[in-house]
Chains A and B, each alone.
Chain A
Amino acid sequence: MTTDHITAELDINDNEQLRYIAAQAVDARVNVELETEGMTLNIGPQHPATHGTLRIVAKLDGEQVIKAEPIMGYMHRGYEKLTEVRTYPQVTTLVNRIDWVGSFANEVPFILAAEDLMEVEAPPRAQWIRTALFEMGRIANIMLFLGDMAVQLGGVTAVFYAFRDREFVLNQIESVTGGRFHPNFNRIGGIKDDLPAGWIAETKSVMQKVRDFCDEMEDLVVGNEIFQLRCRGVGVIPAEVGKAYGLSGANLRASGVDWDLRRDGDSRLAWKDLDWKVWTHPDGDSFARYWVRLQETREATYMVEQILDGLPTGPIMAKVPRIIKVPAGESYVQTENPLGVMGYYVISKGELTPFRVKIRTASFSNMSIAPWLLEGVYVPDIATILASLYFILGDIDR
Chain B
Amino acid sequence: MVRRLAVLLALLLLAACTGGGDGDGTPAASATQDVSGVIVVASGRDVTGKNGVRQQLIDAWNLREQRAGSQFRARLVELPGSADEQRSQLLGALQSRSARYDVVNLDVTWVPEFASAGLIGELPGDLVDGDVIPSVAETARWDGKVYAAPFNSDVGLLYYRRDYLERADVERPDLRPGLTWDGLRDLVETVEARPAQGSYSKGWTTQLAAYEGRTVNAVEAFASVVEDFALVDGDGHYTGTVEELTDGIAELRRRTETAYTLQNAVHSDEAASLSDFAEGRTAFLRHWPYVYPTLYRTFTQEQLGVVPMPGRAVLGGQNLAVSRESTRPGKAAELIRFLTGRQSERCLLDAGFAATRVSAYGDGVRCPTAADAPSPSPTGEGADRVPRDEGGRPAYARTILLPALRNAVHRPRTPLYGAFTQTFTAQLGPLLGDDPPGNEALAARLDEALRKALPD
The reply to whether chain A is a binding partner of chain B is: no
Interface positions of A (Cβ within 8 A of B): none
